[in-house]
Amino acid sequence: MSAGGEEGSVQETSLHAHARSAAAERRLARTVLLDRLRKSQRWDVVVIGGGATGLGCAVDAAARGYSTLLVEACDFAKGTSSRATKLIHGGVRYLARGELGLVREALAERSRLLANAPHLVHPLRFVVPAYHWHDRARFGLGLGFYDLLAGIHGIERSRMLDAAATAAALPGLNPSGLRGGIAYWDAQFDDARLAIALMRTVFDLGGLALNYLPVDGLILEAGRVQGVIARDAESGEVFRIAARVVINATGVWADAVRRLERPAASALVRPSQGVHVVVDRSFLPGDTALLVPETPDGRVLFVIPWQGKVLIGTTDTPRSDVPLEPEALPGEVDFILATAARYLAPAPTRADVRSIFVGLRPLVGEDDRTATHRLSREHCIEVSPGGLVTITGGKWTTYRRMAEETVDQACALGMLPRRPAATAALRLHGATTGFSGDCYGCDRAVVDLLPGAARRIQDGLTLTEAEVRHAARFELARGVEDVLARRHRALVLDAARAAAAAPAVAALLAQELGHDAQWCVDEVARFRALAIRYGAPAGECS
C-alpha cells in the first residue's frame, strides 16, 4: 500500500511539473512580445483597437493564416467592450423597430457563441411581466415571432405564464396588479473575460496582441496607408510597423483614427452613453432575469442576475465627447432606479448601489436630430481613399460576423489574397465541453497550479492570489485596474470591496512584474481614485 501510494504521488508530482513547464512556455511576457514586434518586417494585417470588434478582426485574420498584429492604446476591453449589459441576444426591442435582418443575424451569432465559448456564454431565462391583459397577448405575440426568427438557433420556446408562475419566477417582483407574464430565452456572458479569451485565441493562432501600445500616426506612402506608428506607453519606445492592411476598430474613437489620414473627414460615429447600476442579489433572487418592456423614454430596461449581484440598465444618452472613463450624467441613475421601482418590491435606492459603470456606444448616424435610441445597431465598414479599413457600430453579439465581413472586404479590394473565413465553428481559448460557471474554462488547471490558489484576496470577492498571478503571466495584465476591472470583475460588482482589495493585488503584481514599493503606492492611489468614480465611498478608499 505504502509503495503504491508513493509511486502514485511521484506520478502526480511529475504530471504537475509537466503542466507547470507547459504553462511556462505559454507565458506572455511583455519583453518577449515586444522583441517579436521589433523583429517583424511587415504584417499582413494590423488591427488598431483591442475591444470586441478589433479582437474579433484579429482572430478572423489569424484564423485565415494572415500574419496579424493587434495594438491597443490602453488595456483590452478598457472601453465599451467591458461595460455592456452582459447579454448575447437578438434584441427584442429591435424586433419592434422592424430590424428583422439584424435580429436574425444576432440570433444566429448567439448560437455560435454558445457553442464556441461555453465557458463564458450560457442561456438565461427572461420573464416579461404584464400588468394589463392586452400586454400579455401583445408581448406573447412578439416573443413568438422572436422564436420564429431564431429557427434552428433557438434555445427554448417562449411561453405564457399566469400571475402565480410569473411571481414565482421573479421573487422580488411587485405583485400589485400583476396579470401574468411571458418567459423567453436569450444568453448571458462576461464581456471582459470574452475579450481576454479572444486575445488568447489570437496568440493560439500565431498572431500577436499588445496592450498599452497606442497608435500616434499612420504611415502614408503615395497617399496609401502602409502601416502605423505606435508607441510603448510604458517605455516610450516608438515602432514603425508596416502592414498590407490597417483595420481601424477603435469604437467611439474611430473618427480620431480616421483623421490621422484625413484631418477633415466628417464624423462617422455618434456616441451614446449607457449607464448600469449594480445592487445586491436580494432585490431579485433566483436565476431569471426581468425585462421591463417599456420605459418612459421608449426603451427597455433589464434587471439581470449576474455573478452574485443584480445588474440594472441601461440608458441611451447622446454625448458629444468620448472620455475614456465616462460617468453617469445628472438624472441617469435616478431614472434607472425610478423605473426599477415600478417593478421591484422593495425597490433599491441610491444607498443600495454597489457600483455604477458607464459605456459609450459607437452608433452610426449622420443626422444629429435622430434620437440615439432610434439609431440602428447595424455596423458600418468604410474604406478610405488611402485604404484604411474602418469598422464601427454593431454590438458584442455580432462581433464575429462584423470581423468576418471586414476581412472579406479587404480581400475583395485586393489588399489580401482571398482565403475563406474560418471562425464560424472556431472554439475560443479555454472552451470547455459545456458551461461550467468558471470563466477560465480549460485554463483552470493552469491557474490552480500557481501559488495562492486557495487564498482569496479579499472577503466578499472570489479572486485568489493565483488568479492575480495568472493575469500577470498569461493575460497581459499590467496594473491593478486591469485585474480588478477586467481579469476579475470586482470593480463593476462592488467598487468599495474592489478598492479594499487594491493593496493586495498591487503587491502580487509587483512580485510578478518586478516593480518596487513606490509603484504599489501609486497603483493603489490611481485605482482607488477610479473606484470612487464607480460609486465607492471616499472614506472606504482611503
Distance from C-alpha of 406 to C-alpha of 464, rounded to nearest angstrom: 39
Q: Which residue has the cell 472556431?
A: 426
Res. 8 pLDDT band, cuts 50 70 90: very low
CATH of the domain at 76: 3.50.50.60
Q: How many domains does the chain have?
A: 4
Q: Which amino acid is at 466?
A: A
- Whether residue 113 is contained in a domain is answered as yes
Same domain, 160 and 103: yes
Domain end marker among 170, 187, 204:
187
Q: Residue 385: how many CB atoms within 10 A of its CB?
A: 10
Same domain, 148 and 175: yes
Contact 395, 360 (CB under 8 A): no
- Whether residue 18 is contained in a domain is answered as no
- Whether residue 19 is contained in a domain is answered as no
Same domain, 375 and 428: yes
Q: Which residue has the cell 426581468?
A: 290
Cα–Cα distances (Å) from 416 to 64, 87, 209, 379, 389, in that order, read 11, 34, 20, 22, 12
| Terminal alpha carbon distance of the chain | 57
Domain end marker among 320, 340, 362:
362
SS3 content of the chain, % helix, strand, coil (to 5): 40, 20, 35
CATH of the domain at 329: 3.30.9.10
Same domain, 175 and 96: yes
Q: Among 22-31, 75-84, 190-199, 388-397, where is mean pLDDT lowest?
A: 22-31
- What DSSP string describes 278-333? EEEGGGS-SS-EEEE---TTS--EEEEEETTEEEEE---EE-S---SS--PPTTHH
At residue 11, the pLDDT reads 38
- Whether residue 514 is contained in a domain is answered as yes
- Whether residue 9 is contained in a domain is answered as no
Contact 28, 476 (CB under 8 A): yes
Contact 192, 307 (CB under 8 A): no
The tens digit of pLDDT for each residue in 277-315 reads: 999 999 999 999 999 998 887 889 999 999 999 999 999
The tens digit of pLDDT for each residue in 432-489 reads: 987 888 999 999 999 999 999 999 999 999 999 999 999 999 999 999 999 999 999 9
Same domain, 452 and 518: yes
The long-range contacts involving 157-166, CB below 8 angstroms and separated by at least 24 positions, are 158/182, 158/183, 158/184, 158/185, 159/183, 160/136, 161/127, 166/127, 166/129, 166/130
CA gyration radius, the chain: 24
CATH of the domain at 500: 1.10.8
Kindly tell me if the per-residue pLDDT of 368 is higher than 70. Answer: no
Contact 246, 227 (CB under 8 A): yes
What average pLDDT is seen over the chain? 92
Same domain, 453 and 530: yes
φ and ψ at residue 327, rounded to 5 degrees: -120, 160
Q: Residue 7: how many CB atoms within 10 A of its CB?
A: 10
At residue 447, the pLDDT reads 98
Distance from C-alpha of 106 to C-alpha of 153, rounded to nearest angstrom: 10
CA dihedral angle for residue 359, residue 363, residue 367, residue 372, rounded to 10 degrees:
-50
Q: Which residue has the cell 400589485?
A: 176
- Whether residue 6 is contained in a domain is answered as no
The tens digit of pLDDT for each residue in 65-86 reads: 999 999 999 999 999 999 999 9
Domain end marker among 362, 389, 405:
362
Same domain, 249 and 260: yes
At residue 16, the pLDDT reads 45
Residues of the chain with pLDDT > 70: what percent?
92
Same domain, 81 and 103: no
At residue 117, the pLDDT reads 97
Distance from C-alpha of 366 to C-alpha of 361, rounded to nearest angstrom: 15
- Which H/E stretch holds residue 277? strand 269-280
At residue 542, the pLDDT reads 54
At residue 24, the pLDDT reads 53
Res. 26 pLDDT band, cuts 50 70 90: confident
At residue 97, the pLDDT reads 77
Same domain, 236 and 378: yes
- Whether residue 537 is contained in a domain is answered as yes
Distance from C-alpha of 307 to C-alpha of 499, rounded to nearest angstrom: 18
Mapped onto helix, strand or coil, the DSSP state of residue 391 is strand
Mean pLDDT of 130-153: 93
Question: Between 341 and 2, whose confidence is greater?
Answer: 341
Same domain, 314 and 387: no
At residue 318, the pLDDT reads 94
At residue 1, the pLDDT reads 35
Distance from C-alpha of 30 to C-alpha of 526, rounded to nearest angstrom: 22
At residue 405, the pLDDT reads 97
Same domain, 311 and 424: no
- Whether residue 20 is contained in a domain is answered as no
The whole domain housing 320 covers 276-362
Res. 123 pLDDT band, cuts 50 70 90: very high
Same domain, 200 and 66: yes
